[in-house]
Amino acid sequence: MKTTAETVKTTAETMKAVVWDRHGAPEDVLKVREIPKPLPSADDVLVRVRAAGANPYDWHYYRGDPLLIRVMPGVAKAKESQRLGSDFAGEVADIGSNVTSFAVGDRVYGLAGLGSFAQYVAVPANRLAPMPTNVTFEEAAAVPMGAITAMASLRAGRFEAGQSVIINGASGGIGIFAVQLAKALGASEVTGVCSTRNVAMVQMLGADSVVDYTQQDYTRLGKRYDLFVETQYSQPFLRSRRALARRGTFAFAGGGGGRLLGPGGPMLGAILLSAFVPQRVAPVTAKGYRALLSEITALIEAGKVRAVIDATYPLDRIIDAMKHLETGHVSGKVVITV
């Protein structure tokens, strides 16, 4: 998931925003401060944020974990008043001179890349879409990164109606949408993997079967799926591929990995190993956010996809919100209200 450039034009007005200036634990580095309100550049939309969804990317940034993230160009660096947060839902407050597709007052949602944990965020117009008409700001803010990554996982896996899909991490931010999207797009069978406390929720989202990983090993089910959506990497690829059909695809969205490379390490390993086995490994990257979001909007409005919110926190309780997400055991999404 790409982030946007970090240079932001600002005004003399101020706004409340979550900021951090060094890497560390949320209680040590995250602060809520008054900082200058951003100005939209020509291709931007300025959004009055009403709710913001939290994602593992947010803590990867402020923790500087994995270490690779600290040197990657274009991602969040520790610096004075560095902002935080990607997913948002809110109202258009202003538009840049080149923007024709949005008007002040429109309800929108999308991915900022950086800075959505604030009262205002300036976002390139190609990273947002009109909000579904049948959801609240909180529900909309829970959607963008998880649902876009879930859709991108199905695309990376060259998913077609009639295929069977297994999703590891089915109760997480990506998983809840992967289950629903696979069903909505015609999967013959969807199996979700999660722990006992989330089994009922994943069933409710439409999974045909759920594997409780505390009781059962999904690599020993004796079933073979066309597509494996990996969000946790709790087992190595060479074991997980036992759950894949001979020509099946392992869509690697995230999870696993060490302090240095994070998921990049196992992802690279799986890609190299796939040269020696019949199954394909497909790294998941999302392109065309606005088009993907528009497809997801249609499915939400048709009642086929919905967000699941584990907890909401006001902006002032950002530390509690991020500690909750960092447990790695959320049931759906953590949302911040602004």
Ligand X SMILES: NC(=O)c1ccc[n+]([C@@H]2O[C@H](COP(=O)([O-])OP(=O)(O)OC[C@H]3O[C@@H](n4cnc5c(N)ncnc54)[C@H](OP(=O)(O)O)[C@@H]3O)[C@@H](O)[C@H]2O)c1
DSSP, collapsed to helix, strand or coil, labels residue 291 as helix
In the window 40-99, what residues touch ligand X (CB under 6 A)?
55-57
Q: With respect to ligand X, which residue has the nearer C-beta, 109 or 120?
A: 109
Q: With respect to ligand X, which residue has the nearer C-beta, 52 or 92?
A: 52
* Positive or negative: CA dihedral 146, 147, 151, 152: negative
Contact of 232 with 255, CB cutoff 8 Å? yes
**Total binding residues for ligand X by CB under 6 A?**
33
The closest of 190, 189, 187, 191 to 160, measured between CA atoms, is 187
Q: For residue 182, how many C-alpha atoms fall within 13 Å in the half-sphere facing its CB?
A: 37
Tell the smallest beta-carbon distance from residue 262 to ligand X (Å).
7
Q: Residue 191 interacts with ligand X (CB under 6 A)?
A: no
Per the structure block, which two tokens stand in for 73? 């160009």
Q: Residue 147 interacts with ligand X (CB under 6 A)?
A: no
Q: Residue 286 interacts with ligand X (CB under 6 A)?
A: yes
Tell the smallest beta-carbon distance from residue 215 to ligand X (Å).
12
Q: With respect to ligand X, which residue has the nearer C-beta, 123 or 253?
A: 253
DSSP, collapsed to helix, strand or coil, labels residue 75 as coil
- Exposed e or buried b for every residue in 257-292, given b needs 16+ CB within 10 A? beeebbbbbbbebbbebbeeeebbbbbbebeebbeb
Q: Residue 198 interacts with ligand X (CB under 6 A)?
A: yes
Residues 6+ apart with CB under 8 A from 9: 38, 39, 40, 41, 122
Q: Which of 136, 234, 274, 312 binds ligand X (CB under 6 A)?
A: 234
Q: With respect to ligand X, which residue has the nearer C-beta, 203 or 234?
A: 234
The closest of 49, 52, 56 to 143, measured between CA atoms, is 52
Q: Residue 114 interacts with ligand X (CB under 6 A)?
A: no
Q: Which of 169, 192, 248, 266 binds ligand X (CB under 6 A)?
A: 169
Q: Which residues of this protein are in contact with ligand X, per CB under 6 A?
A: 1, 55-57, 145-146, 149, 168-169, 171-175, 193-195, 198, 213, 231-232, 234, 253-255, 263, 284-286, 328-331
